């Protein structure tokens, strides 16, 4: 488990406030931000995100439906659209993409946890304690 793994899972589970996540994300260089977005995209796919997760994810991310990442999320196959979102390059769009991908992960992983892990599991990210920060 890396610092990035921990941060992203704590954000998705509401164990850290998004303001802390954005501060962390903003402190990364452009290459590390791109890698983080691709990493998040991968986790969203692994958590079995579906198209129907879009509206709730957009709401949780606090984005308007007209923001570029939100528009992308609602158009086409979600696995392809998540890749497009992760590939956004303008700094303000990257911040929105980060917020949205964390929200998609939160929605998809919560469903996955309810369906497959409700009786207990060994996923380390489902065993995280509440953060002191």
What are the structure tokens assigned to 113, written together? Answer: 């946890």
pLDDT in tens, 116-129: 666 665 444 545 56
Q: What would you measure as the largest C-alpha separation in the chain, in angstroms?
A: 42
Going from N- to C-terminal start, the domains of the chain cover: 3-126
Q: Residue 3's pLDDT band (boundaries 50, 70, 90)?
A: confident
pTM of the predicted model as reported, rounded to 2 decimal places: 0.87
CA distance linking residue 66 with residue 19, whole number of Å:
22
For residue 117, report the phi and psi dihedrals to the nearest 5 degrees. Answer: -125, 10
């Amino acid at each position: 488990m890396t610092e990035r793994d921990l941060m992203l899972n704590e954000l998705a589970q509401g164990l850290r406030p998004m303001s802390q996540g954005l501060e962390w994300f903003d402190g990364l260089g452009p290459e590390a931000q791109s890698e983080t977005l691709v990493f998040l995209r991968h986790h969203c796919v692994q958590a079995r995100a579906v198209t129907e997760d879009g509206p709730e994810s957009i709401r949780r991310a606090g984005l308007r439906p007209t923001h570029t990442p939100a528009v992308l999320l609602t158009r086409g196959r979600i696995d392809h659209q998540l890749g497009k979102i992760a590939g956004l390059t303008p700094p303000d769009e990257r911040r929105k993409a980060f917020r949205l991908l964390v929200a998609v992960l939160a929605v998809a992983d919560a469903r996955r946890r309810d369906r497959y892990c409700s009786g207990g599991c060994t996923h380390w990210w489902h065993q995280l304690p509440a953060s002191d920060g």
